[in-house]
Structure 1
């Protein structure tokens, strides 16, 4: 569907009625002038070579050229079509466990890193399939909906850490529900889930959910990451071994039985992670056994712009107007020669601008091609050239920011996003630039600036769930940093305060040291008192456990 990139320029079309009124005024002025000259017969003889019809044609040509020029400035464009991709593919949702137990290093460098490596290789094996990602710990979140953009899937995968889920634990059942919600519920086949976890499920709904999904035609495959003997977990927040409520080191073990049961009930395959390529080949072979279907995908990466054609039309109309004379045949020879020269001059002035605009679009398309091939240096070079030729081209600035970000040049990427925001005319384009700027700032630990960027993106597009999710994540990170800073400040001040408190009674009350009062309580009374206090504490602990058990939002375990 055609839409205008700069719709505000269409306001200039309001000048067309004024031009028509001016034309009518000129006609009346000519008639009044003829009447004032004198004898009508003599006047008609003097103006016999004048052609009112040609005068009207000249006016129509000028007005039409003006309208075409204004519409060209507004830049009508349309997405390069809806493409029906005749691919034999399926829909695959990948559920990745990002709980703290996945940080265990019984599989080097860690379970989570190995899981990411496996998923990335699996994505490469599924070029014709749509991929979606769900991350889960104490809760499940849709990290990326189903898409054929596998490069975006890998980008989301790289950012999956325990920090993206504020509630710790492991709820496989919730993750499977989230995967099912991402599928097209009208289809009862061509759908599969690949669950990657250590199987330490802290709720017992997974089996029930698996059977329900299998009845709806969803195949569930599982990959076990970890070792049956288990190992300890290093808490990333403290850098020490994680302990349970009783102070004992937490030992996290691979729960193969749980994952095997899920795969069996989900008509899928269970694979124990040993070698990345072997596991990938096993899951890939299992997925190829499923039926496959054609995938319809909308591609909105590039737009087809119509402004060069409209500018060309305006030029042709103006040239035509120069060749149309207000006088009749014999008197126009000399005038045509003059206007031919003028038309040639106009063509020399306008054609370079058309070639200039077309050249900018060509550079952007070359940059897009290089970007998709991950040749980011080449893409940056093309986008920069397009931005130099046309600094106000928001597409060139936006794509330049993305390529610089991929290249690792965060500071230059931020400058490009600022330029894109500056020249963006629509709220959706501005929101996208603010969001990408926020991601770049957040990855460079500039949390206050990234929070402001996400807020600006949400002000322009309140429905942007990615911006809302990243904003929450950035706020949590900022809160965590502030708590650490406060603790550090407190630790710095504490020794001084304790030293002053220790020195004060020694300096001021050297001869007045307090003496302990002798206890008047018998040994038996003291033992009974101690037993009563221990019983009271035990009752309190039991009460707290009951409250925790009754809370549906608080996980039983936080790893």
Structure 2
């Protein structure tokens, strides 16, 4: 149990102790005086009980004024989600209308809208390099603004995308060690990466990066944006054929315990938010107890007053 005002509790308990001492002293004097006069008062114990209940009510009320709260475990859908969105030039292909990038942006916005406030969402834009354009935050408008700002540029490095996403999750730079060994970044089971890409990787072996995410407990769900038939894009005056390469995206998802989601058209992209499962976590939430304690105090006051009335016909 926690208290918002421990000083009020201390003051209330001192007052309760003073009242209890005064009640005991008064009862002893009254008993001594009546005994000296040879008078026996029936119901004395009932009167003492009434006084005791009243003092107990004061004690409970003192605790209530201190703002007590119990920490209660509450299950909720929570954690961190990083949306890693491919902004390489191949994402300008129009085999998914109006373009792969525009369709991915629409799906990412739908995903953000589907998440509760308990989920922190960040955005990583990636091509050969990667940039955290929005750090994970409960304010989802920040993520939406970052998604809307995305522009096409460069090639594709899924390896860099994964490491940048892990950096966004941990809040510090994360890099593979020598010989591509996975770094020790702790365990982040409530974190998820959702990667939107056409899978055309040009940035090195992705498996070590996927293994680093797997060891950290981070699931990666991949969304393949494009078609296997592909389309032609114009880059620096050249016309290049580009198509969806799902094998690498499937490998990333399988390695990390996530899932690969094909999205060959806009309609299938719109449903991605409903297919990705976030993990349930249990967190301690403060449950205020003041109201219940005040009710208990009033019950004690009422019981104490009733016993006093039954003994003497008046409230004292």
| Same fold per superposition (TM over 0.5) | yes
Greater helix percent: which structure? Answer: 1
Cα offsets for 1:209-267 (capped at 9, x unmatched): 45646987966634347974247xxxxxxxxxxxxxxxxxx779989469556326436
Change (3 A) 1:270 1:253: farther
1:69/1:311 contact within 8 Å kept: yes
TM-score for both structures, normalised by structure 2: 0.57
- CA separation in 2, counterparts of 1:255 and 1:132? 33
1:96/1:134 contact within 8 Å kept: yes
1:198/1:224 contact within 8 Å kept: yes
2:51/2:308 contact within 8 Å kept: no
Partner residue, 2:61: 69
CA shift, 1:64, in A, is 0.4
Partner residue, 1:298: 282
- CA separation in 2, counterparts of 1:15 and 1:315? 17
1:200/1:255 contact within 8 Å kept: no
Cα offsets for 1:319-376 (capped at 9, x unmatched): 22223349xx8xx5xx43x55xx9xxxxxxxxxxxxxxxxxxxxxxxxxxxxxxxxxx
Partner residue, 2:304: 321
Is 2:85 the partner of 1:96? yes
Question: Where does structure 2 lack aligned partners over 5 or more consecutive residues?
Answer: 171-184
Is 2:176 the partner of 1:177? no
Partner residue, 1:44: 37
- CA separation in 2, counterparts of 1:252 and 1:132? 37
Is 2:206 the partner of 1:207? yes
Partner residue, 2:125: 136
- CA separation in 2, counterparts of 1:84 and 1:111? 33
- CA separation in 1, counterparts of 2:241 and 2:139? 28
Partner residue, 2:222: 221
Paired residues, number:
278
CA shift, 1:14, in A, is 2.6
Partner residue, 1:115: 104
Partner residue, 2:290: 307
CA shift, 1:26, in A, is 3.4
Give 1:300-379 correspondences, 5 Å limit.
Answer: 304-325=287-308, 332=311, 335-336=312-313, 338-339=314-315
Greater strand percent: which structure? Answer: 2
1:96/1:197 contact within 8 Å kept: yes
1:64/1:314 contact within 8 Å kept: yes
- CA separation in 2, counterparts of 1:299 and 1:67? 31
CA shift, 1:66, in A, is 0.5
Change (3 A) 1:58 1:278: closer
* Secondary structure at the counterpart of residue 49 of structure 1: coil
- CA separation in 1, counterparts of 2:18 and 2:105? 65
Partner residue, 2:180: none
- CA separation in 2, counterparts of 1:254 and 1:272? 22
Question: Where does structure 1 lack aligned partners over 5 or more consecutive residues?
Answer: 35-39, 86-90, 146-151, 232-249, 343-559
Partner residue, 2:144: 158
Change (3 A) 1:111 1:27: same
- CA separation in 2, counterparts of 1:98 and 1:9? 58
Cα offsets for 1:400-420 (capped at 9, x unmatched): xxxxxxxxxxxxxxxxxxxxx
Cα offsets for 1:449-490 (capped at 9, x unmatched): xxxxxxxxxxxxxxxxxxxxxxxxxxxxxxxxxxxxxxxxxx
Partner residue, 1:278: 268
CA shift, 1:69, in A, is 1.0
Partner residue, 2:8: 9
- CA separation in 2, counterparts of 1:133 and 1:10? 43
Is 2:18 the partner of 1:18? yes
Change (3 A) 1:255 1:81: farther
* Secondary structure at the counterpart of residue 229 of structure 1: strand
2:48 maps to which of 53, 56, 80: 56
> Greater RCO between the two (CA within 8 Å, min separation 6)?
2
Change (3 A) 1:220 1:304: closer
Change (3 A) 1:252 1:206: farther
- CA separation in 2, counterparts of 1:271 and 1:198? 10
Cα offsets for 1:23-58 (capped at 9, x unmatched): 3553566589x4xxxxx98x514x543765445323
TM-score for both structures, normalised by structure 1: 0.37
Give 1:364-513 correspondences, 5 Å limit.
Answer: none
Question: Which one has a bigger Cα radius of gyration?
Answer: 1
Deviating 4+ runs (over 6 angstroms): 101-111, 123-127, 183-188, 198-201, 213-219, 250-255
CA shift, 1:305, in A, is 3.9
Change (3 A) 1:254 1:56: farther
